[in-house]
Structure 1
Amino acid sequence: MQSQALYILLALLSAIIMGTIGVFAKYAALPAEQITFFRLLLGSLFLISFMFISGKKGDIFHKPSKRHLFNGLMLAGFMSFYVKAIEYTSMANVIMVIYLAPLLTAIVAHFVFRERLKLVNIIAIAVALTGFSLMSTAPSASEIPDAGQSKGLLFSVVAMLSYSGFMLINRKPSQASPYQSTLVQLSVGALCLLPLVIMEPVPIDAEQLAWLLAIGLIPGFLAILFAVKALQHLPAVTFGTLAYLEPVAVVFLAWWLFAESLTPIQLFGCSLIILAGIAQGGLSQSPRLRSKSTPSRY
């Protein structure tokens, strides 16, 4: 069995790469449905190409399991409702709700998969949540109408539940390889969004196509594959805590590329999240914790 440290690294890379979608979407300047559709469709095509090149083409055509088909719906729902919520309320409000998903996932895994939560795990999650709340600055009530806030909250909750479902389903041991399960989930997610793209076609120029290819390769193919591989080997509480590095990546990219300043409180919040991730990674290296996590065959 490969070292647990490899899957911690994959979880870290997945979280950081996921954070790039906002940057690519900003440059692509296309509707949310188009961006999400091409992220999933091109991600699946990149994965098929990789499987051909790496000698895994025999795994492409297989009978997918019902839960992986369902998880494709969860993936499309998470991405779509996430973007939809931002149309009605602030990014800070949406993120604050969605990133309750790792906590919910850890609690459900405690009862369903018997991944027992220890006090140190709970403390690490609490530190990450504290750091995340310090990073987020909600707008005043006057900036967004109450009706918009309510719709934004509803879409955020649905996105959070979809994200939690995605993590839990991928955490369950599977006979399928990570490549097979990722391919099914990306393809089904793209099919779920296809009707929306057909009903509202948008012209795409060469520059936008280049950004869509980047979206399909990086936050599509690589981020989802790394997440699926990590989830099949790491306890849900470990992956969930490491996922809080995504908003850190978003804040850093906003500062680096768009000159959005960071307050000392936000910097302190970033530090807390990073410390919580390091602590959770160290905890998952404990022989006792490793013996309680059930790795998949692949």
Structure 2
Amino acid sequence: MAQTDAQKLFLGTVALAAGASCIALAPIMVKLSPLGPQASAFWRLTFALPLLALWAYLEAKPQENDGKRTALPIGLLALAGLLFAGDLATWHAGIVRTSAANATFLSNLTPIVVVAVTWLTTRALPTKAYWIAVVIALVGSLLLSGGAPATNPERLAGDGLSALTSIWYGLYLITIARMRSQWGAGTIMFFSSGFAMLFCLVVTIVSDEPLLPPATGQSFIEQWWPLLVLGVLAQVAGQGLLAVGFGMVPTHIASVLILLQPVLVGFLGWAWLHESLTPVQMMGGALVLVGVWLARRAG
């Protein structure tokens, strides 16, 4: 039975919310990782690839158009891998130089990037209801980050890298959404993550970070569990569910829905890393939820 537009929007919203919840673990795991930020990005993708390969294998073959199978878009998949590798390189580097909430807020300015690129390519702009939702959600994210994420000199480098991430990530999401009209999420995630892994390996080598943690006498699980969580939950479940959602929800709406991440990261940073969470930040989290709800209605 074919799904209605309302059903697709609902299921896509659920997928995006679940994906954002899984990705919210990423900043915490990077801070707990026994390796540097670039090596952590490489292993995140390496551990994800076997499960993504299984997903791509079990997934239905590429959707058919007029009875003909479309060719694998290697160029777009490589571009998606490059963009995601750039996203991870700047985001992971930013995470270890600023607070988890700051890094996630600044790296999730993606609605602005998505709308800007959409306007440049189609000259189409969203409705007023959408802009109201974006403003409310971004104001909430700003309050959640502490109100002035770039004024602390000690965090300025991390904040700048995190802001750069929003450009990489916005372009990555647009590329994924473009391919989702013809290809399944598992196939896209497997190939794009494979390309991203190769790019991240180069970045790790250039950064002169060790690829293996130091010998401490700990078991494999004790040392590697943050990287396993990054690969399985953040990459396979988190980014995979985002890819599913971006095939069902308009890109500009979906880019607002994933702003759930700063709320979840702020809470996890408070609960797990003992980062402060003031009443103002809690109010910011509530505003993000309101903005996400309004964006969902605008869809």
TM norm structure 1: 0.82
1:97 and 2:110 are equivalent in the alignment: no
List per-residue Cα deviations over 1:111-151 (Å, max 9, x = no partner). 5356640000000001001111111124795752xxx83x5
The change in CA–CA distance for 1:115 and 1:178 in structure 2 (over 3 A counts) is farther
| 2-structure distance, mates of 1:6, 1:45 | 26
1:202 and 2:208 are equivalent in the alignment: no
Residue number among 36, 41, 51 corresponding to 2:41 in the alignment: 36
The change in CA–CA distance for 1:64 and 1:167 in structure 2 (over 3 A counts) is same
- Map 1:102-113 to 2 at 5 A: 102-113=111-122
Q: SS of the counterpart of 2:213?
A: coil
| 2-structure distance, mates of 1:99, 1:259 | 22
Paired residues of 1:64 and 1:184 also in contact (CA < 8 A): no
1:190 and 2:197 are equivalent in the alignment: yes
- Of stretches 121-130 and 207-216 in structure 1, the one that deviates more from structure 2 is 207-216
Aligned twin of 2:28: 23
The change in CA–CA distance for 1:142 and 1:82 in structure 2 (over 3 A counts) is closer
Aligned-pair CA distance for 1:100:
2.0
The change in CA–CA distance for 1:201 and 1:38 in structure 2 (over 3 A counts) is closer
| 2-structure distance, mates of 1:67, 1:43 | 20
Q: What's the Cα RMSD here?
A: 2.7
Unpaired segments ≥5 residues, structure 1? 285-298
Q: 1:203 is matched by which residue type in structure 2?
A: P
TM norm structure 2: 0.82
Aligned twin of 1:220: 235
State the identity %: 23
Paired residues of 2:31 and 2:96 also in contact (CA < 8 A): no
Q: 2:80 is matched by which residue type in structure 1?
A: N
State how many pairs are aligned.
277
List per-residue Cα deviations over 1:15-62 (Å, max 9, x = no partner). 11111012222333321112111111211211113344x365899xx8
| 1-structure distance, mates of 2:172, 2:36 | 24
| 2-structure distance, mates of 1:242, 1:153 | 22
List per-residue Cα deviations over 1:62-105 (Å, max 9, x = no partner). 84431121010000100111122345555565444322222221
List per-residue Cα deviations over 1:208-233 (Å, max 9, x = no partner). 22332222110011111111111122
Paired residues of 2:16 and 2:254 also in contact (CA < 8 A): yes
- Map 1:41-190 to 2 at 5 A: 41-52=46-57, 54=58, 63-87=72-96, 94-113=103-122, 116-137=125-146, 138=148, 143-144=153-154, 149=156, 151-152=157-158, 154-173=160-179, 174-190=181-197
The change in CA–CA distance for 1:71 and 1:57 in structure 2 (over 3 A counts) is same
